[in-house]
Chains A and B, each alone.
Chain A
Amino acid sequence: MSSVFEKRSNGIDGPPSKIKVSDLTMAYGDSVVMHNLNFTVHERDIFIIMGGSGSGKSTLLRHLVGLQEPAQGTISYQGTSAGFWEMPPSERERLLRRFGVLYQDGALWSSMTLAENVSLPLQEYAAVDAEEISALASLKLALVGLSGFEDYYPSEISGGMTKRAGLARALALDPDILFFDEPSAGLDPISSRRLDDLIRDLRDSLRTTIVVVTHELASIFAIGNNSVFLDAQSKTMIASGNPKQLLAESKDPRVLAFLTRGEEASRG
């Protein structure tokens, strides 16, 4: 599998591949959601998975974070010996610790305070003492603007704060790859913009690769530098690349309709 993660083959030395998806078919039982997906996420990309509602964006994310096994095809990650599901379980577990995932509604554990939510992964996997764990939890909460909210329970804070606390938990183990499921959903435009800025800041300072599932156009253009477009009708990806370039260069009416909120289609 070493060839999978060689430098880009176009002759230019770009950043190495972080995730490589080859011939992926996703299905629930006999019902195929998407087939023939092929794309690569490069190091320090903010990679957008976009598409209409019900196109399988969240299902693809579940595949990328190892929650669901592909019906066909492989998903390989940088620095691993084989595809995710072909690896021995111990290696798979080590790989999962390199991921941070922000779920759509934050998915905070309701019986724990914010600090405890962030501390749990550290207690499980980081060989540091309790004092250091508490300092790290405060740091992660401060990074997302929640300094001082350590002792609050998830039910006592707003939706936007819940999402940011979820992000603090995702950052707990200094992840190599961060996955976001609909980060802007349910947020006001200003909070949504702040979260976009935060995502970009984290990529730049932590040198993290970021994969975002979203259909918020403002976010897509503001932060994405690479993307894949899933189409529910043909059940496969119909475009990939920089979203701004797709808007400028794509000839596909479905992609253009999506990226212009249907204005292109109504004009045509």
Chain B
Amino acid sequence: MEQVDLEYARRPDGTLRVALGGDWKLAHGIPAPKGVIEEIEKSPPPRRVIFETGVLAGWDSGLLTFLLSVLSRCKQLGVEVDRLGLPEGVRSLIALATAVPAGPARRSSEPAPVLARVGDAAIAWWIGFCDTLAFIGEAFLSLPRLFTGKARFRRSDFTLAVQDCGARSLPIVALINLLVGLILAFVGAIELRRFGAQIYVADLVGIGMLRDIAPIMTGIIVTGRTGASFAAELGTMEANQEIDALRTLGIPPMDFLVLPRLLALCLMMPLLCLYADLLGIAGGLVVAGSMLDISPMQYLLETKRAVHLNDLFLGLFMSAVFGVLVAVTGCMRGIRSGRSASAVGEATTSAVVTGIVSIVVATAIITAISYVLGI
């Protein structure tokens, strides 16, 4: 039963008779149409091709692919085919499969020349750059509307965003910054102990955390957590035409979706950074107490002596800038996302990558400016 039989032979009148028998199912293996096609291609070509399927026990798509290959070659060579010998279901499926002519092929298989690809990439980059500038411009234009009370967004969206990027980020911000404070103190302690200067661990941790490390670490955590979530949420809204629905109602998505998130992150980032500062110092204190025999009071007094308010404010300012950057990149990637699952994924990845790069670049710029200004 499981055998597939294929016989073909020319009759004296030039007709090619193809006899199909057995169970023509993919599971049993389907013979390649090569032999039959070679027979058709032999000179002189057959006058016509007929099929016999009297002993065909069963069939599935495997038989159809076999027959379509044979029929397509016959058509190319102008050989007449008599399909009457085929089962009725097969005949109607072949008719269905050949009813609509092939549509346009999507693209040529040859890759474009290198110069064309470089050009395309440069143009795409420039368009993306202009798009980013336009988005930032739009976001800034919505600020006057916010201050004059004309911006339209729901207060509940704002408080929800505050809760999400503020309170809900506390555990991860606490854990990471405590550990970073510990690591910084640990690395410093090993070196400083060699000079008997272990008390300066407090200076190292205090200044390092407040000026740079706490804002950067918090910024990176918030990028991965909140920036990605903004991009995924707005990207899905774009995919579901929810953003189009806002536009057709005359509600600017910039006001309704971006502003509450931007404001929330801008307000919460300095608070998270302050919290991170304290946790980082606490991490240093643990190492100082356990490894260097420095009492907590001594450590805190040294920190107080070394750290100035300028350091604190510089860090808080940086974190507010990071908040704007993360919110803008997250929302922009989301709103500019395509309308498919993979596009939303790409938007999220891009939001995180752009967020982290912009945080590092902004840190470099702010550090250089603060050096010039002597802050």
Contact = CB atoms under 8 A, between A and B. Distances in A.
Partners in one complex: yes
Interface of A: 109-111, 126-128, 132, 135-136, 139-140, 142-143, 145-152, 154-156, 174, 198, 201, 204-207
Contacts of A139: 61, 64-65, 68, 97
Contact of B105 (A128, A148, A156): A148
Contact of B106 (A151, A174, A206): A151
B103 A207 contact: no
Contacts of A154: 340
B34 to A, nearest CB: 11
Given A149-B103, A156-B106, A205 B69 contact: no
A128 B339 CA distance: 34
B92 A201 contact: yes
Contact of A206 (B26, B89, B98, B101): B89
Contact of A147 (B65, B89, B101, B106): B101
Nearest to A149: B103
A174 B60 contact: yes
A126 to B, nearest CB: 6
B99 interface: yes
A148 B65 contact: no
Given A110-B342, A201-B92, A205-B93, A152 B106 contact: yes
| Ranked 3 nearest A-B pairs via Cβ | A148-B102, A110-B340, A148-B103
A156 B93 CA distance: 27
Contacts of A146: 100, 103
Contact of A135 (B69, B88, B93, B101): B69
5 contacts: A109-B341, A142-B98, A155-B339, A205-B92, A206-B93
Contacts of A136: 26, 61-62, 65
A156 B99 CA distance: 23
Given A139-B68, A147-B102, A111 B342 contact: yes
B196 interface: no
Q: Is the interface of B mostly helix, strand, loop or mixed?
A: helix
Nearest to B88: A205
B114 interface: no
Contact of B341 (A111, A149, A151): A111
Given A127-B27, A139-B61, A140-B61, A147 B97 contact: yes
A207 B107 CA distance: 37
A143 B60 CA distance: 14
A145 B100 contact: yes
A85 to B, nearest CB: 27
Contacts of A142: 68, 96-98, 100
Nearest to B92: A205
Contacts of B61: 136, 139-140, 174
A146 B69 CA distance: 17
B107 to A, nearest CB: 7
A143 B94 CA distance: 8
A147 B65 CA distance: 13
Contacts of A109: 341
Contacts of A110: 340-343
A160 B71 CA distance: 29
Nearest to A198: B96
A136 B62 CA distance: 7
Contacts of B338: 155
B60 A148 contact: no
A198 B97 CA distance: 11
A174 B102 CA distance: 22
Nearest to B60: A174
B30 interface: yes
A66 to B, nearest CB: 22
| Residue from B89, B90, B98, B104 whose CB has the most chain A CB atoms within 10 Å | B89
Interface in B93-126: 93, 96-107
